[in-house]
Structure 1
Amino acid sequence: MTFVYLGCLLLSLAAMVLLDARFRLVFWRDARRATIVLAVGLAFFLAWDAAGILLGVFARGESPLMTGVELAPELPLEEVFFLLFLCYLTLVAVFGARAVMDARRRQTGDPQHAKERAR
């Protein structure tokens, strides 16, 4: 039983938290809303996995890098952290792109940005 894959996922999540904190993109902007969106996304993908497992589409692969802990048949512990990372990465990417576009608009003096800020 090794923790290599789980450790990589946790390290990646920690990097995402640092990026989020540095630029105030998701949780540091609105923690309550971010928690709700992340929980809904995680629940959706876990339900998706459960449906795939029940239909026989998804199966747990064997790897010496995984813990071997299963939360349910064919659902390894690492899957939950992978899905959490995937949802969080999406939120950081979307809000990060939005922040970059807003910064570019401010630099170029885009009149549309001035109208949006006035609202």
Structure 2
Amino acid sequence: MSVVYLAALLASIVGMLLIDRRFRLFFWAAPARATVVFLVGWVFLLAWDAAGIALGIFLRGDNPISTGILLAPEFPLEEPVFLAFLCLVAMVAYTGALRIVAARRGAVRGGGAATSAPDAPAVADAPRAPSAPDAPVRGGAS
């Protein structure tokens, strides 16, 4: 019995939460919405695991780095913690990618560097004024 894997998962969760806090990506950007999204994803993955276990698809293998504690048959203590980490890393990576894309779009449009500070939530693209209809090209070859 060892707690290496569980400790690594918990340390990884803390690391992801620190990244989230630093850049205000997920929980620190919109706590209520993030909690709902996180819980829906986590419960979905728990149900997925339960279905896989019931069908005999998912089996627990013995290893020297896990606690060996089972919450249910073939469902180790580390599994819900891993699924929580999986949901968290997916949402932080997704919101971080959105922030990077938005910043690059702003730079390409001539806005220079991203206008939001690293600690600020992502800024949505500002609405653009309607453009004039395409004017006919004059003086072209006939």
TM-score by length of 1: 0.91
Within the alignment, does 1:36 sit opposite 2:48 as a pair? Answer: no
Structure 1, unmatched stretches of 5+, are: none
Structure whose CA Rg is larger: 2
3-state SS of the aligned residue for 1:58?
coil
3-state SS of the aligned residue for 2:126?
helix
Aligned to 2:135: none
- Give the % identical residues: 52
Aligned to 2:21: 21
Higher RCO (C-alpha 8 Å, min separation 6):
1
Cα distance in 1 between the residues matched to 2:16 and 2:104? 23
Aligned to 2:45: 45
Q: Which letter maps to 1:6? A: L
Shift of 1:110: 5.7
Aligned to 1:62: 62
- Spell out, residue by residue over 1:53-78, the C-alpha distance to the aligned partner (whole angstroms, 9 max, x if none): 11111111101100011111100010
3-state SS of the aligned residue for 1:17?
helix
Distance 1:64 1:26, change over 3 A: same
Cα distance in 1 between the residues matched to 2:41 and 2:61? 23
Within the alignment, does 1:114 sit opposite 2:126 as a pair? Answer: yes
Q: Which letter maps to 1:50? A: A
Cα distance in 1 between the residues matched to 2:33 and 2:126? 26
Distance 1:91 1:110, change over 3 A: farther
Cα distance in 1 between the residues matched to 2:110 and 2:77? 47
Aligned to 2:100: 100
Shift of 1:103: 1.2
Aligned to 1:78: 78
Q: Which letter maps to 1:108? A: V
Cα distance in 2 between the residues matched to 1:23 and 1:114? 21
Cα distance in 1 between the residues matched to 2:17 and 2:74? 29
Shift of 1:104: 1.3
Runs of 4+ in 1 over 4 A off after TM superposition: none
**RMSD over aligned Cα atoms:** 1.7
Structure 2, unmatched stretches of 5+, are: 112-124, 129-142
- Spell out, residue by residue over 1:6-64, the C-alpha distance to the aligned partner (whole angstroms, 9 max, x if none): 01101111110011001000000111111111111111011111111111111111011
